[in-house]
Chains A and B, each alone.
Chain A
Amino acid sequence: MSDKPEISIAGRRFIAALLLICAGLLVAEFIIHRHAYFALEATPLFFALFGFVAFCIVVGGGVLLRKLVMRAPDYFDGDDDA
């Protein structure tokens, strides 16, 4: 894991804007009706939660996969390529 990075002023502004938009999307959830095909999809905030959790699973899955398939950069270099 990398250390906590220094966040630039531009980065802080980006994060502030993102938080604002996300808050707006949460509010919109209770104003706009989402047409749902599946029962689970109709759960309030389904897509917001799914997006956040899925992203974390993708990254977490990658970290686990690294243990299985990561090798040195020159792993194949000694092979006689036929």
Chain B
Amino acid sequence: MLDAIFAIPGMMLILGALVVPLLPPFVRNYYMLALIAFSGWTVWQIAPGLHMTANLAGIDLILVRAEAITKPFALVFHIAAALNVIYAMHEDVKITATAGLAYAGAAIAALFAGDFLTLFIYWELTAFTSVFLVLAGNTARSMGAAMRYLLMQVASGVILLAGAVLLWRDGAGFAITALDATTPAGFCVLLAFGIKAAFPFLNGWLQDAYPEASVTGTVVLSAFTTKLSIYMLALCFAGLTPLIWVGAVMTLFPVFFAVIENDLRRVLAFSLNNQLGFMVVGIGVGTELALNGTVAHAFAHIIYKSLLFMSMGAVLFRTGTAKASELGGLWKQMPLTAIFCIIGAVSISSFPLFSGFVTKSLTIGATAKEGYFLVWMALIFASAGVLEHSGIKIPYFAFFGHDRKFKVKEAPLNMLIAMGIAAALCVIIGIFPQPLYALLPYEVKYDVWETGHVLGELQLLLFAVLAFVFLIVRGLYPPEIDSTVLNTDWLLRRALPRVVKGLAMPVLALWFGAVAWAQKTILTIFRISEETSRQSGLVSGIASTGAAAGIFLAVFALMLLARLFM
């Protein structure tokens, strides 16, 4: 029984996390690394196919099954989990160490879930473990962001469960397979995935919560939830054409927000959203090349995005701020962090010889091959946008630009090691993509190194850099301003409470009116019953308990609403 439980991928990390708070700091980190390595090694052995089922009250659950795309995701989740532990070695925070490990475990277990009920459990577990990382920001803002984050994550889970139940009602069973998004069940599942994949208008939580987490927490958060959702979208909705357009919009709108956002970790959160867009486009196109592109991009992206968040985390850790308006000139004090950040920046911008180039080219190539001209234009436009915010803005405003004469040390050794490994992976994948290509679901026939393609990419990127230099030299580049940039979370934070308050006023007026009327009526009834009971006992019987419970529930619901929105 016990070995069966441990045979579930990721379970070793979830249960192993329970011991973490009991261990002394020195042992803790190495214990977690050993556990991740062992878990990675066991998961590596799992071949595609059905591996473990269970029957619970007549319902068939598929606890472990692997698809062609499971292995690359499971591998990169383990790499990310290990990097997270190394990056956080300088600190002694039991709660985030425990939550981070369990979170990674839940995400890995979810990859192998074969039915929606099993997925639902891990889906919610990723929410409940990761919220501690946001809370670890330990500010009033992070507290609020954590609650909103949890609300969205749990909502996604509940919608997923609704979808699962509808599937079951339709006689389709709970198995995770290709779904029809036009049925209510399929749409619910798509919506649940869409929330966690930060689709347009469902994206607010990402930019709201991630930058409010602790230095190490943001790095952990950046890897798992959104990519788990990309993985699930690829399993259930590959080839769903509207996703091409959803993805294209996702690549575009964050680009403009990232230009004006001042908090560099929030810039990276917008950038993350834009990267997810490329993956969603690949899923929508759904051809072998496109799906290869999505999986490869997710793999490379987790590493370089983590690297970028690590570098900004190191800056925040040393200087106490991640705001572009307060940073600059740090390359003198933190040269290694600067170099690692630049490697992450050129990787995400997909410069040839770095990981983004050998992965993103597949998706863009797929849109061209299938003749999606507008989408293709959108993606190369978005590529210039990525270069703007992640390629240039992040390193430029942190390490160059206006020298703020900081008196700080280079990042701690463990942070440098974590960033060094991630940077090395970005370069190795960029130069030798074959091992990564071998992990992909289909054979890679696309030649990313075709001379004309490399030339086009270099022209696109370097002339965009030229445009940056031109704007800076002419004084046309907008200055960084400490500000709040409104995003779609505004709907949840401002619009909805206002609407509810607006609606609540007449409701409250009605409520108090009704209460006054009820008091009067009840007194009248008492008076009449007193009078009549002496005669025949006509109205003095026992009232229905069902009605009483109903009234109680109504009052309780009103109180709850009042607490939430007023």
Contact = CB atoms under 8 A, between A and B. Distances in A.
A59 to B, nearest CB: 6
B369 A37 contact: yes
A47 B147 CA distance: 45
A40 B319 CA distance: 47
Contacts of A38: 368, 373, 376
A55 B384 contact: yes
A69 B455 CA distance: 37
Contacts of B486: 68-71, 75
Interface string B444-483: 0000001111011111111111111101111111110111
B115 interface: no
A69 B485 contact: yes
A34 B368 CA distance: 14
B148 A55 contact: no
A62 B476 CA distance: 12
A63 B471 CA distance: 13
Interface residues of B, number: 66
Contact of B466 (A18, A58, A59): A18
By CB atoms of chain B within 10 A, which of A5, A62, A69, A73 has the most?
A62
B256 A22 contact: no
Given A2-B477, A75-B484, A56 B471 contact: yes
| Interface core residue of A25, A29, A33 (most chain B CB under 10 Å) | A25
A35 B147 CA distance: 51
Contacts of B453: 34-35
Contacts of A62: 256-260, 478
B468 A63 contact: no
A28 interface: yes
Contacts of B475: 1-5
Chain A at the B interface: SS class:
helix
Interface of B: 140-141, 143-144, 147-148, 255-260, 368-369, 371, 373, 376, 380-381, 384-385, 387-388, 402, 450-453, 455-469, 471-479, 481-487, 493-494, 497, 563-566
29 contacts: A2-B479, A5-B473, A7-B473, A25-B455, A34-B453, A41-B456, A46-B456, A47-B455, A48-B459, A50-B380, A51-B384, A51-B461, A51-B462, A52-B467, A54-B464, A55-B467, A58-B256, A58-B388, A59-B467, A62-B260, A65-B257, A65-B259, A66-B481, A69-B485, A70-B260, A70-B481, A71-B485, A75-B486, A79-B144
Given A55-B387, A66-B478, A71-B483, A48 B473 contact: no
Contacts, number: 179
Contacts of A21: 462
A76 B384 CA distance: 32
Q: Which of B260, B453, B458, B477 has the most CB of A within 10 A?
A: B260
B381 to A, nearest CB: 5
Contact of B388 (A5, A48, A55): A55
A37 B148 CA distance: 45
Contact of A65 (B256, B462, B473): B256
Contacts of B494: 76, 79
Given A29-B459, A48-B463, A51-B467, A59 B369 contact: no
Contacts of A45: 459
A49 interface: yes
Query: Most B CB atoms within 10 A — which of A22, A34, A38, A59?
Result: A59
Contacts of A7: 473
